[in-house]
Amino acid sequence: MPKLIALDDGHGLNTSGNRTPNIPEIGRSIRENEFNRAVVRFLKQELERSGFDTLLVAPTDEDISLKKRVDLANARKADIYVAIHYNALDGSFSGSNPSGIEVYVYPGTLNKAAGKLATAVGKYLRQGTKQNWRGIKEANFYVLRETTMPAILTENGYMDNKTEALLMIDEKFQREVAVEHAKGICEYFNVPYVAASDNRNETGFRDVSPDAYYADAVKRAKDLGLLKGYPDGRYLPDNSLTRKEFAEALIRLYDKLK
């Protein structure tokens, strides 16, 4: 039976605070959840491709309470809990300019399963974009304290460091962070990590795992010329279908039936 991974994308999209200072180069501030949500979405794909089941404990843009998130993970008996965050110090680019990554576990669990998970994920986070490694730390965070499974919370940069703030909306960085988490989780459970490119020959799209329940339908539709993906080889199975995409699919079907 696949392991169930609870994924928490931190704060809601419109939570007060939890955003960068205004960034003149882009004419706005960046909300923390813009990063957290994207990483969780990519991480979900990475994990499912590698054979895991996933549980989104905050699946909408709402700021769902920590209790509801944790209660859901506990009720579903998730095997681990992973919360994705982005750090902040003083809320200003003119301050001490902190930087770097850190991983949190509940106090007293460094030498237990949570510490093992944090070590595995931290190992891969350190191998990506060059950032200061701030280490594995202990904290009495609600999602670490009240979960009944090993839990970690990762802080993947600082919102009040302009360089790291701009990384928050860089899709390449978002995907990298997701892959690093996925590799660490795979190592923790001692299962092989399946890279996106490995799927292309089997399903036609690098982000559609052959183990996905919809994989056969997607592949057959692609082989029949009814579906097309994106130039980079992705299908983006979790994205909503737009009206223009629906129209294109209908016309392809019509042409096949003529």
- Name the residue type at position 220: R
For residue 28, what pLDDT is reported? 95
| 5, 79 Cβ separation under 8 angstroms | yes
Give pLDDT, residue 161: 93
Q: Is the pLDDT of residue 13 over 80?
A: no
| pLDDT band with cut points at 50, 70 and 90 for residue 198 | low
Residue 80 burial (CB count, 10 A): 22
DSSP structural state of residue 64 = -
Residue predicted with more confidence, 255 or 173: 173
Q: Which residue has 């509801």 as its token pair? A: 68
Predicted confidence at residue 114, as pLDDT, reads: 98
Q: Given this model, what pLDDT does residue 196 score?
A: 77
Distances 216 to 87, 90, 95, 203 between C-alpha atoms, Å: 41, 50, 53, 7
User: Mean pLDDT lowest for which of 42-46, 93-97, 132-136, 182-186?
Assistant: 93-97
What is the spatial distance between Cα 24 and Cα 29, in angstroms, rounded to a whole number?
9
Return the pLDDT at 201.
67
Tell the residue number behind the tokens 């962070």, with chain if given: 177
Alpha-carbon gap, residue 4 to 79, rounded angstroms? 5
What is the percentage of the chain residues whose pLDDT exceeds 70?
A: 96
pLDDT value of residue 242: 83
Report d(CA 245, CA 242) in Å as an integer.
5
Mean pLDDT of 233-247: 79
Q: Please, are residues 69 and 84 in contact by the beta-carbon 8 Å criterion?
A: no
| pLDDT tens digits along 67-104 | 999 999 999 999 999 999 999 988 888 878 899 999 99
Domains of the chain (ranges; CATH) run: 4-189 (3.40.630.40), 209-257 (no CATH)
Residue 232 is predicted with a pLDDT of 66
Q: What residues contact residue 27 under an 8 Å CB cut-off, 6+ apart?
A: none
Angle at 229 between CA 223 and CA 230, to 5 degrees: 150
pLDDT tens-digit profile of 120-156?
999 999 999 999 999 999 999 999 999 999 999 999 9
| pLDDT at residue number 211 | 67
What proportion of the chain, given as a percentage, has pLDDT over 90? 63
Distance CA 97, CA 253 (A): 55
